[in-house]
A and B are shown apart, each in its own frame.
Chain A
Amino acid sequence: MTFFSNIWRNEKSREIIVQIIVLFFLGWFISWLVMNVNANFEALGKDISFEFLFIPAGYDINQYLIDYDSRDSHLRAGIVGLLNTGLVAFFGIILATVLGIALGIIRLSKNWLASKIAYWYVEFTRNVPILLHILLWHGIIINTLPHPRKAISLGEVTFLSNRGFYIPKPLTESGIELVYLFLVIAIIFSTLFAKYCKRKQDLTGIQYPVFWINFSVIFFLPLIAFFLSGMPISLEIPALKGFNFRGGMHMSPELAALTFALGIYTAAFIAEIVRAGILAIDKGQREAAESIGLKPSKVMNLVILPQARRVIIPPLTSQYLNLTKNSSLAIAIGYMDLVATLGGISLNQTGREMETMLIVMLIYLSVSLSISALMNWYNSKVKLVGR
């Protein structure tokens, strides 16, 4: 019995040894890769430099949430792209969540037709690759909608064409402050009123129609202010000028196609997650809720969903992450997201493949980790508190 064989036979120390060996090989592999990069870069006469970020990008971007001009830097072009990624992910997540929850619940409904429709929706949608969804929606929009000169007009203020959707844009004028002030007052009132009602219900069991009262307050109070201050909001109506519509708010066919495709595709997965979450709740809970005379909608909203949320949120998080990452397929239809700007045109104009790809990957990583952190926080809020 030597000293070493003793160490090897000890389960604890053996584990440590194995981990050290694995770590060593991992480190060796990584350093080999890094050296390989350096050697190849040297052979090609290239260096790694991020200076290109600060030279003018020189190209135009068709959709920007912050001011952008072709004389701005590659860095700014990248930020514009990142915001475009964020925009489509935001719309997509909202659409996917609303549609997914609705479908998940319908799928479990006792109505045979509704349940079958939800079933076929899920089966069809999730078994077709997302890229095809995107191309399909883009194709539908640009091939079926007419040219701007023959745009479909809805009341002469909203227009649908193969260059996108145009809706009137609200422009604020002086006097709008009163409307804002009333809106703030309405929101403060609603919050306090909701708290009051909750306490009242806890104490006495009396329920008020909180939602409808608050809704009316938030809607009508600013409306009254709007008329009092002489209607300080005007609408900028889109109008056909030259080749395209000018003015108003514009949603490009690419943004629309991408939002529909991502939302509809991810909704299928969310529907299944919601269904699983609901089924995970013991049926005794439902029966108990029904037996005390709650309406079906209340059974769902007050008893089933709050409990199901705990099961739903972790897989839902990964669907949100998938949707955000899938938005990088935007490049297929010419939506200028992060991959198309910094990881596409900037890469090509500067020839800095390694640098741009590194930045793009790190950005996606941090966006995903942020979404993940947010959802974890929400998860810890809704999880059962010691029972």
Chain B
Amino acid sequence: MKTKMLLAGITAGVMFAGSVLASTLDDVRARGKLNCIINTGLAGFAAPDDKGNWTGFDVDFCKAVAAATLGDASKVNYTTATGKTRFTKLAAGEGEILSRNTTWTFSRDVDLSQTFIGVNYYDGQGFMVPKSLGVKSAKGLDGASVCIQTGTTTELNLAEYFKGNNIKYNPVPIETNAEAQELYKAGRCDVYTTDASGLYATMMSFDNPSDHMVLPEIVSKEPLGPVVRHGDDQWADIVSWVLRAMMAAEEKGITSKNVKELAAKDNKDKEINRLLGKDPLQGLSKLGLSPDWAVNVISQVGNYQESFEKHLFPLTIKRGMNALYRDGGLHYIPPIK
């Protein structure tokens, strides 16, 4: 019993050494930097560029929150996490935001005591195969070896889908996307499965992307979004409204190019005025943000569309479900008033 408690103690002592009591916003301001937990490397979402700077769709969101809270999008420390370590790292206080293609599910939200602040990318699990395999549908995968990135909802979806369709398969669980790619390329697996966005990102990093294809079946709903710890509502509100501000900016046609100009004048659309700090936005002081928070976000990072087109268009990912509702997509933003 003693040994057991000692072990528990040591583990916990290490894990939760960074627990905090002050408000998250105060901590970030005092440090002068935002700590953001991102993917270990997934092209388009979070990957180092040729100068070694992290860049991508998820990284942009970290920058946006830094711009809103600190006024400077570059003031971010990045911590990487695998699918397995991400929640532990967030709980242990290694970051204020987990911005790492994380699927919003009931048990993660409720049982793990985390707060999902919204969806920044609607995704679904798909399958990638070499064209030479001659498979046209996931239903034709009976007996195949399937590489899976572990520690994700992917394994559960896969088990449920294949069981439902009475298909036998041989799972090969892999810790990170990079290793999984190597095994897939070496032919250890016939199929690679993860979120469709991840499949496109992986495919584009191959020497011959056209030798591979993503099968038409999307076997799950994967609403991906940033996550914060439970218990600090002010921080959760800040993070969620930064995301909405980026989408609202797209809706209102505010871009990084014209934001300064629009902020300087009185617009006919009063919502633009409120978003950009021209007219008062009731309650903003409760969030502890300055009136130019959204201007900082849009001028330094861009609106949702700009970020999406910059990072995800090169991967041949289309807007699809991720368009604004008025364009037939799913992003519907509460009004800024």
Q: Classify the interface of chain A: helix, strand, loop or mixed.
A: helix
B325 at interface (Cβ–Cβ under 8 A)? Answer: no
**Number of interchain pairs (Cβ within 8 Å):** 145
Q: In the bound complex, what is the Cα–Cα distance between A242 and B143 (angstroms)? A: 7
Q: Does A347 lie within 8 Å of B84, measured CB to CB?
A: yes
Per-residue CB contact flags for chain A residues 87-124 toward chain B (1 = under 8 Å, else 0) read 00000000000000000000000000000000000000
Cross-chain contact B175 with A332 (CB below 8 angstroms): yes
Q: How long is the Cα–Cα vector from A33 to B16 in the complex, in angstroms?
A: 11
Q: Tell me if A168 counts as interface (CB < 8 A to partner B).
A: no
State in angstroms the CA–CA spacing of A61 and B158 once bound together.
Answer: 12
Cα separation A60 to B168 with both chains bound (whole Å): 10
Which partner residue on chain A sits nearest B183 by CB separation? A142
Residues from chain A with Cβ under 8 Å of B264 in the complex:
none
- Are B13 and A37 interface neighbours, CB within 8 A? yes
The reply to whether the CB of B40 lies closer than 8 angstroms to some CB of chain A is no
Chain B 10-28 interface 0/1 with A at a Cβ cutoff of 8 Å (1 = within)? 1111011001000000000
A 244-266 contacts with B by CB, 8 A? 244, 246, 253-254
B155 and A345: CB pair below 8 A?
yes
Residues of B within 8 A of A353 (CB): 11, 15, 88
Give min CB distance, A23 to chain B, whole Å.
12
Closest to B82 in A: A348
CA distance A30 to B5 in the complex (A): 8
B8 touches A58 (CB 8 A): no
B residues less than 8 Å from A362 (CB atoms): 4
Across-interface contacts of B2 in A (CB, < 8 A): 30
Q: Is the CB of A344 within 8 A of B151?
A: yes
Give the size range of B's interface with the partner: 35 or more
Is B37 an interface residue, CB under 8 A from the partner? Answer: no
Of B84, B173, B230, chain A has the most CB atoms within 10 Å of the CB of B173
Considering only residues 140-154 of chain B, those with a C-beta below 8 Å from chain A are 141-145, 150-152
Contact B111 A344 (CB under 8 A): no
- In the complex, whether A349 has a CB less than 8 A from a CB of chain B is yes
Contacting residues of chain B (274-296) with chain A, CB-CB under 8 angstroms: none
Asked if A62 and B170 sit within 8 Å, CB to CB, the answer is: yes
**Cβ-closest chain B residue relative to A70:** B159
Q: Are B107 and A163 in contact (CB under 8 A)?
A: no
Q: Mark out the residues of chain A between 26 and 56 whose CB falls within 8 Å of any chain B CB in the assembled complex.
A: 30, 32-34, 36-37, 40-41, 43-46
Check A36 against B9 for contact (C-beta < 8 Å). yes
Q: How far is the CA of A60 from the CA of B163 in the complex (A)?
A: 10
Cβ B175 vs Cβ A59 within 8 A: no
User: How far in angstroms is the closest Cβ of chain A from B37?
Assistant: 15
Q: Which residues 168-185 in B have Cβ within 8 Å of A in the complex?
A: 169-175, 183
CB of B225 closer than 8 Å to a CB of A:
no
Q: With A30-B6, A44-B91, A336-B173 as given contacts, are A243 and B143 in contact (CB-CB < 8 Å)? A: yes
Asked if A357 is an interface residue, CB under 8 A from chain B, the answer is yes
Q: Is the CB of A358 within 8 A of B186?
A: no
Which residues of chain B are near A45, meaning CB under 8 Å? 113, 230-231
B188 interface residue, CB < 8 Å from A? yes
A351 in contact with B16 given A345-B150, A358-B7 (CB within 8 Å) = no
CA distance A37 to B143 in the complex (A): 46
Determine which of A30, A243, A334 lies in contact with B173 in the assembled complex, contact meaning CB atoms within 8 Å: A334
A361 in contact (CB, < 8 A): yes
Chain B neighbourhood of A357, CB < 8 A: 11
Inter-subunit contact A354/B8 (CB<8 Å): yes
Interface residues of B in 152-210 (CB under 8 A from A): 152, 155-156, 158-160, 162-163, 169-175, 183, 186-188, 190
- What 0/1 readout, one digit per residue, does chain A (17-29) give for beta carbons within 8 Å of chain B? 0000000000000
Binary flags per residue of B81-92, CB closer than 8 Å to A gives 1, else 0: 001100110010
Contacts of A58 in B (CB 8 A): 155-156, 159-160
A-side contacts of B15, CB under 8 Å:
40, 353
Q: Is A9 an interface residue (CB 8 A)?
A: no
Residues of A within 8 A of B229 (CB): 44
| B321 at interface, CB cutoff 8 A | no
Task: Out of A30, A36, A244, name the residue touching B145 (CB < 8 Å).
Answer: A244
Besides A62-B170, A162-B187, 5 other A-B contacts (C-beta < 8 A): A40-B16, A44-B231, A45-B230, A142-B187, A353-B11
29 A-B pairs with CB atoms under 8 Å apart are A30-B9, A33-B13, A34-B5, A36-B13, A44-B16, A45-B113, A45-B230, A59-B156, A59-B158, A59-B159, A60-B158, A60-B159, A62-B170, A70-B160, A142-B187, A162-B186, A241-B143, A242-B144, A243-B133, A243-B144, A246-B143, A334-B172, A334-B174, A345-B151, A348-B83, A349-B156, A350-B107, A354-B11, A358-B4
Interface of B with A (CB < 8 Å)? 2-13, 15-16, 19, 83-84, 87-88, 91, 107-108, 111-113, 133, 141-145, 150-152, 155-156, 158-160, 162-163, 169-175, 183, 186-188, 190, 229-231
Binding site for B on A (CB under 8 A): 30, 32-34, 36-37, 40-41, 43-46, 58-62, 70, 142-143, 147, 162-163, 241-244, 246, 253-254, 331-332, 334, 336, 340, 344-345, 347-351, 353-354, 357-358, 361-362, 365
